Chain A
């Protein structure tokens, strides 16, 4: 579904990504982790072309992201993305947030788009908040709306860029619960996250990055029980000790 081949990116002399390669198969859940500044977010933003890269190739469902001939908006409309800071549109009600791209990008009629939006709001447990504005919701609620907004486009896969990093601890689980359910339904997911509990529960593979490189790309159990690289061992010991 997502194929990342030898991708490198640099800003001037600074190398943000160094020869990264990995695959995400249909229905697979991949967790990308690593210390901050390791290039995880940059890598996941390359997948839907929000970031550019100089070398290598990324192919999503048979379409090359960096190809000039690719209709990038069309490709993005099929790839859902959830951001660290939610990025709901603050000048619109929750309903309008859910309807906007369905109407403008997919050309769905308003009734259909609203119905779809309500169904997904129901699913993330926020049907009653439909008429509120993003600013009136808690962080956890906003992130659940953001997930619903992405799902409203009927994506073929979902990208999560640190979806719980900006949340207060007591709100993390309500977002993770939605993600776990999504994973169990067979959604193809690539998640940048530090939530190792989530990784243990639903990930198939874990990709560990450090300084722009993919240091480890292993099956979940293998990664947690027998990490090969010293850097992954250090990272795990720091993150799992509390």
Chain B
């Protein structure tokens, strides 16, 4: 019988908290940039311009057909080299956090754009007609009439995707970046208490994800009424 020993966790909490801050930072940036870029992609996809629509569709299909962990690895390897070449940033500078945020944002944008596209299409065509008939341009109709209604319909789905993203950020362990999961494994390794640390980390991910999901569900019920 394995003897559990949780004693290394209390002392490690400050490190774990620092890791959690990195995790939140990646999650929030990826959600914000992902939704913004995803909105642009969705609008391009629906624009009726064949070239723009093709670009957006290809982007979405490409990112949805590649495993996330591979995208992350490419970015860890490519972005530092690119930064070095373009901006003369020396290679030993730590760009792992930056490249993780860029990779997640670009990857998540593909998923967000599909949610947003469905949201835009859920607003009836008559709304766009009414906006255009009042003399608004396509862009004004989108901004003032279509998107506000689309986002209202989509909020639960966007948040749910955010919860998935929050869990997926643990994949940055491939770059040895000290996010919450990364710190947990480092502490476990240092103290020879990997099982305890992994269980603890899992419990933390579970509690945060479960609480947010529950909040989303109750929000969904309130929006539905």
Of the candidates A74, A87, A100, the one having the most CB atoms from chain B within 10 angstroms of its own CB is: A87
- Asked if B136 CB lies within 8 Å of chain A CBs, one says yes
Which stretch (A8-16, A19-27, A77-85) binds chain B? A77-85
- Inter-chain contacts of A80 with B (CB < 8 A): 133
A91 touches B152 (CB 8 A): yes
Judged by DSSP, the binding face of B is helix
Residue pair B133, A105 in contact (C-beta under 8 Å): no
Question: What is the CB-to-nearest-CB distance from A82 to chain B, in angstroms, rounded to a whole number?
Answer: 9
Least CB distance from A46 to B in Å reads 13
Query: A203 — which chain B residues lie within 8 A by C-beta?
Result: none
**Smallest distance from the beta carbon of B79 to chain A beta carbons, Å?**
40
Assess whether B132 is interfacial by the CB under 8 Å rule: yes
Q: Which residues of B have CB within 8 Å of A79?
A: 133
A80 to B135, CA, bound (A): 9
Contact present for A101 and B134 (CB under 8 Å): yes
Question: Which residue of A has the minimal Cβ distance to B148?
Answer: A91
CA distance A209 to B101 in the complex (A): 60
B144 at the interface (CB under 8 A from A): yes
Which A residues lie within 8 Å of B67 (CB)?
Answer: none
Q: Which of B92-133 contact A (CB under 8 A)?
A: 124, 126-127, 129-133
- B137 contacts the other chain (CB 8 A): yes
The 8 Å CB contact of B136, one of A45, A87, A90, A105, is A105
A68-101 contacts to B (CB < 8 Å): 73-74, 76-81, 83, 85, 87-91, 100-101
Would you call A149 and B134 a contact (CB within 8 A)?
Answer: yes
A87 and B149 form a contact (CB under 8 A): no
Q: In the complex, which residues 18-55 of chain B have their Cβ closer than 8 Å to any Cβ of chain A?
A: none
Q: Which of A74, A76, A106 has the most CB of B within 10 A?
A: A76
Given known contacts A87-B126, A87-B127, A104-B144, A77 and B149 CB-to-CB distance under 8 angstroms: no
Residues of A within 8 A of B152 (CB): 91
Contact B135 A101 (CB under 8 A): yes
With A90-B149, A91-B148 as known contacts, state yes or no: A73 contacts B130, CB within 8 Å.
Answer: no
Q: Does B81 contact A (CB under 8 A)?
A: no
A residues contacting B by CB (< 8 A) are: 45, 48, 50, 73-74, 76-81, 83, 85, 87-91, 100-101, 104-106, 149-150, 153
Chain B residues with CB under 8 Å of chain A are 124, 126-127, 129-137, 140, 144-145, 148-149, 152
The 5 closest A-B pairs by CB, nearest first: A77-B135, A87-B130, A101-B134, A81-B133, A105-B135
